[in-house]
């Protein structure tokens, strides 16, 4: 992945560029798509065979991100649930929490970053604020999760995060982000942003990708069908992101696993974690990054760019804003 020199980069307020379904395919030919998918795969490789409970190096930058997430978690005490426990309600307390985040974005990022990275705050702010659901709809989905990945990818591109951070990004920072997101979902009864028949999870996708990578050649002789067993899930939830994710599902959903999580149940038929991992990486691109319902809210700037890759000719499928026949 090409790093972005902060001094030589013109940062802009990120804006929506995928304004119609016809722009989804061109998105796959952009620099932003290439950098994001490469970042996801690099992190995937970094955690193969490593448990969440293992002692991993947590560099200074990753530690700073953990402190930021701890601050956001602490704010939950200031905005307790306000809708009297009504499920799927429009909770004003979440709007207040989100407003607090919006008001403090710049100061939070200034505390996180060294001064030489301050010019990038205008772009980083957009991805951080988009990482925690939409207060106007009181919902959360894989698009919000993707925004947090874009936020992390941008931090890597400017050099705030380094190669030594990769394990900690997944097993500490992303894990902490998951815990905060799940608390928001439960505390404020957030709706799934998208209800898809073949979704593997109402809210998240990456725990299954990186969690399956962790389990490749695992020492406990666990196989994909193991996560259908509640006792096994509880035993290994602290060791593997995928078991942790399914443990969360068992907590929030009632009934038989094969009924409320049919796609996850179907995946248990896969024999190896390696095959499951490769399939989930492809599925993430197809069902998240190439779905208009998800990417239509993505915002693009200099770090996560909608510019065509240099190696893709115009006839290769990329279109520009000037292609009026594709405009809304």
Per-residue pLDDT of the chain (328 residues; tens, 9 = 90+): 889 999 999 999 999 999 999 999 999 999 999 999 999 999 999 999 999 999 999 999 999 999 999 999 999 999 998 654 455 557 899 999 999 999 999 999 999 999 999 999 999 999 999 999 999 999 999 999 999 999 999 999 999 999 999 999 999 999 999 999 999 999 999 999 886 655 788 899 999 999 999 999 998 999 999 988 999 999 999 999 999 999 999 888 877 776 677 788 888 889 999 999 999 999 999 999 999 999 999 999 999 999 999 888 765 455 554 443 333 3
**Is 231 within the bounds of a domain?**
yes
CB 199 within 8 A of CB 280: no
**Is 324 within the bounds of a domain?**
no
Residue 308 tokens read as: 């065509």
Nearest-angstrom CA–CA distance, 147 and 54:
27
pTM of the model: 0.93
* Structure confidence at residue 252 (pLDDT): 85
* Structure confidence at residue 258 (pLDDT): 61
CB 253 within 8 A of CB 260: yes
**Is 197 within the bounds of a domain?**
yes
245's enclosing H/E stretch is: helix 241-252
User: Please, what sign has the CA dihedral across residues 198, 201, 205, 211?
Assistant: negative
**Is 323 within the bounds of a domain?**
no
The whole domain housing 191 covers: 20-306
Nearest-angstrom CA–CA distance, 48 and 65:
22
Nearest-angstrom CA–CA distance, 170 and 189:
26
CB 33 within 8 A of CB 27: yes
**Domains contained in the chain, number:** 1
Q: In this structure, what CATH number is given to the domain that contains residue 222?
A: 1.20.120.1150
Nearest-angstrom CA–CA distance, 4 and 313:
23
Radius of gyration, CA atoms only, the chain:
20
**Is 6 within the bounds of a domain?**
no
**Is 262 within the bounds of a domain?**
yes
* Structure confidence at residue 324 (pLDDT): 33
Q: Comparing C-alpha atoms, which of 199, 156, 130 is closest to residue 62? A: 156
**Is 311 within the bounds of a domain?**
no
**Is 322 within the bounds of a domain?**
no
């Amino acid at each position: 992945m090409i790093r972005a020199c902060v001094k030589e980069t013109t940062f802009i307020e990120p804006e929506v560029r995928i304004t119609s379904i016809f722009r989804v395919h061109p998105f796959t030919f952009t620099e932003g798509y290439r950098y994001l998918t490469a970042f996801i795969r690099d992190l995937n490789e970094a955690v193969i065979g490593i448990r969440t409970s293992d002692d991993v190096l947590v560099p200074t930058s990753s530690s700073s991100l953990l402190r930021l997430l701890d601050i956001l978690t602490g704010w939950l005490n200031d905005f307790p649930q306000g809708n009297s426990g009504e499920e799927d309600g429009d909770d004003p307390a979440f709007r207040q929490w989100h407003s607090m985040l919006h008001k403090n974005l710049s100061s939070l990022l200034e505390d996180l970053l060294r001064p030489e990275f301050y010019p990038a705050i205008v772009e980083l702010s957009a991805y951080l604020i988009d990482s925690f659901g939409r207060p106007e709809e009181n919902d959360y989905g894989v698009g919000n999760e993707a925004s947090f990945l874009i936020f992390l990818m941008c931090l890597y591109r400017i050099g705030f995060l380094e190669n030594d951070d990769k394990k900690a990004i997944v097993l500490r920072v992303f894990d902490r982000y998951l815990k905060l997101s799940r608390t928001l979902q439960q505390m404020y009864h957030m709706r799934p942003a998208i209800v898809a028949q073949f979704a593997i999870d109402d809210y998240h996708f990456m725990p299954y990708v990186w969690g399956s990578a962790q389990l490749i050649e695992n020492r406990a002789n666990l196989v994909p069908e193991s996560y259908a067993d509640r006792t096994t899930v509880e035993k290994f939830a602290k060791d593997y992101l995928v078991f942790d994710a399914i443990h969360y599902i068992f907590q929030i959903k009632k009934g038989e696993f094969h009924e409320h999580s049919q796609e996850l149940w179907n995946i248990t038929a896969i024999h190896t974690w390696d095959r499951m991992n490769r399939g989930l990486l492809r599925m993430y691109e197809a069902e998240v990054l190439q779905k208009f319902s998800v990417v239509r809210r993505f915002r693009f700037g200099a770090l996560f760019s909608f510019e065509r890759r240099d190696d893709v000719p115009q006839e290769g499928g990329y279109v520009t804003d000037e292609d009026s026949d594709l405009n809304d």
